[in-house]
Amino acid sequence: MPDTDQQLRLAAFAWLAAPRDLYGDVLRRQLLADGFEFQGERVPLLGPQGIFKPRLCELPLSITTAPNGPYDDRFSPDGLLAYRYRGADPQHPANVGLRAAMVRKIPLIYFNGLVPGRYLATWPVFIVGDRPEALMFTVAVDDEARAYDPAQASTGEGPDARRAYITYTARRRLHQRTFRERVLKAYQEQCALCRLRHNALLDAAHIIPDAHPDGEPSVQNDVALCKLHHAAFDAMMVGIRPDYLVELRRDLLEEIDGPMLQHGLKEMHGQRLVLPHDRALWPDQSALEQRFDQFRHAS
């Protein structure tokens, strides 16, 4: 791999770590499209097509799955990512580039679109298989340290088992982030109680816990809450009635404390939940009734 390609690739990995540490691993598309400066040139990290090669790179730098995109990227039975070819021609230059990355064990970045405009960034990923008959590559996630020493990509004890485990962990993170982003999008990225809009302080709060048999992984079984109100909801300090009115536990209403209790919790009592614009995404009333019954017993 020419020095410029390798240097740019490692610079891209290092650059990505900064916004991830600041904002989390779900990043805005515009940030990724703007990219970073390398040797006096602006280098975007992704493009309009899924397989992306910046001008200064010899081989592709990233692969992208667009939210609701045309390609059916999915995890295969072995737990690895099945990534679609560009088009139907195995000899398309983009497909040839990924095939070369596979042979030379070149690390790439994988961007998965969770909702329009927001992408989960994962690196390094390696192309570990090519299935022309299915028009698909097989992709594995590896330990981040190996991105900076590609020679280690196929060395070490049990690389296949290691990659399978790391890819499984990345898959779980993808599902969690996707679900959170869908819930926050439904609620216009604000807390349904206090309308706080700071994304880093928002959670997708389950009405019925996912460990419960009735805990369906659906937007209708979740409410977008800030971290304070999520904790209060989980602790049965705050309840949401099936008619979408908020109740505070009686003992807290009678308690005298500082401004956080007064403004952060007490003032929520009797308010109506901020609901999604799409009525089909409103919280399931039977789930709220079940949860509110638990809240009354706790009160």
Looking at the structure of the chain, the number of domains it has is: 2
Looking at 184, 219, 253, the residue that finishes a domain is 184
Q: What is the pLDDT of residues 219-272, one digit of tens each?
A: 999 999 999 999 999 999 999 999 999 999 999 998 888 888 999 999 999 999
The per-residue pLDDT for 155 is 41
Same domain, 279 and 236: yes
3-state secondary structure of 120: strand
Looking at the structure, tell me whether residues 44 and 178 fall in a common domain.
Answer: yes
pLDDT (0 to 100) of residue 265: 94
| Residue 283 reports pLDDT greater than 60 | yes
Of 104, 162, 121, 112, the C-alpha closest to 35 is 121
Range of the domain at 127: 3-184
42 & 161 share domain: yes
Residue in 260, 256, 258, 236 with CA at minimum distance from that of residue 248: 236
The pTM is what?
A: 0.77
Q: Are residues 127 and 163 in the same domain?
A: yes
Q: Assess whether 91 and 198 both reside in one domain.
A: no
Co-location of 227 and 287 in the same domain:
yes
Among the ranges given (157-166, 188-197, 236-245, 258-267), the one the predictor scored with the smallest mean pLDDT: 157-166
Please tell me the predicted confidence (pLDDT) of residue 75.
Answer: 73
Element (DSSP H or E) covering residue 121: strand 118-131
Residues 27 and 175 in one domain: yes
| Same domain? 145 vs 221 | no
**The pLDDT value given to residue 67:** 85
CB 66 within 8 Å of CB 124: no
Domain boundary residue among 184, 211, 237? 184
What type of residue sits at position 232? A
Does residue 259 have a cis peptide bond before it, meaning omega lies within 30 degrees of 0? no
Question: 157 and 35 in one domain?
Answer: yes
Q: Is residue 152's pLDDT more than 60? A: no
Tell me which of 90-94, 176-180, 277-281 is least confident: 176-180
Which pLDDT score is estimated for 251? 92
Which range is least confidently modeled, 33-37, 122-126, 295-299? 295-299
CA 147 to chain centre: 21
Six-digit token pair at 253? Answer: 């209403």
Q: Pick the last residue of a domain from 184, 207, 237.
A: 184
pLDDT digits (tens, 9 = 90+) for 38-76: 999 999 999 998 999 999 999 999 999 988 765 556 776
Q: Looking at residue 38, which CATH number applies to its domain?
A: 2.30.280
Q: Are both 193 and 47 inside the same structural domain?
A: no
Question: Do 12 and 92 belong together in one domain?
Answer: yes
SS3 category, 68: coil
222 in the same domain as 285: yes
Residue-level pLDDT at 202: 95
